Amino acid sequence: MVDRKFIRNLEKSIGYSFFDKELLIQAITHSSHDQYVNYEKLEFLGDSVLQIIISNFLFNSHNYLSEGEMTVTRAYAVCGETLGQAGNGMQLDKYIFIGSSGKKKKINKNKSVLADVFESLTAAIYIDGGLEKAEEFVLGKLACYLSEYINSGDNKDYKTKLQHLTQELFGKEPRYKLRGEKGPAHDRTFSVDVYVNEKQCGKGKGKSKKKAQQSAALNALGKYDRKGTF
């Protein structure tokens, strides 16, 4: 039986009080812990709920952004680094149930685990209280990161975003290859392909090589955002 004070403190940190306390316990239980059902299925659902909430927020509150800027901003908001920071800010590491093997490795302080728990909590709140409550939780914890990112202008730099993503996923930078160029010298159009792990994952065109690379990076980010893979 989980201590009531523990539950109250956790709910205070989250900013939401659960009707179904067992759902909350599941949302903070790592797979290394064998006493309760773990959060993996909730994490799966939470990823989709997050995408909807952030997409809706950007569409309604930042409609001046281009589709590409929205795509990059959403990718930033739901990436492991951002969610891990948010989880750390909520001190979720104090509340995650982990097994003895996990305690030795201190996996509760791992940003990827904190990000997973953020996603599972999003799903749990969605199930327990509906989309509106899940939205309050997500935007309450991520709005400051979104505003800072948009104001910095980084959401316009698709090459940098793709580089950060591929380094996080594979420890490698993307590679750009000039596919061709057309038109007179004063009005050239360049075509560029971008490769990740030697796999072609995006195409782009532009009036300069740099703009074509940005276009290819955006194309690759859009594919990843829809499929979760290159």
Active-site positions read: 47, 119
Pairing of the two strands 199-206 and 189-196: antiparallel
Sheet containing 199-206: which strands, arranged edge to edge?
A: 175-182, 189-196, 199-206
- Does residue 199 sit in helix, strand or coil? strand
Q: Tell me, rounded to whole angstroms, the distance of Cα 181 from its chain centroid.
A: 35
Return the exposure string of 141-175: e unless at least 16 CB atoms fall within 10 Å of the residue's CB, then b: bbeebbeebbeeebbbebbebbebbbeeeeeeebe
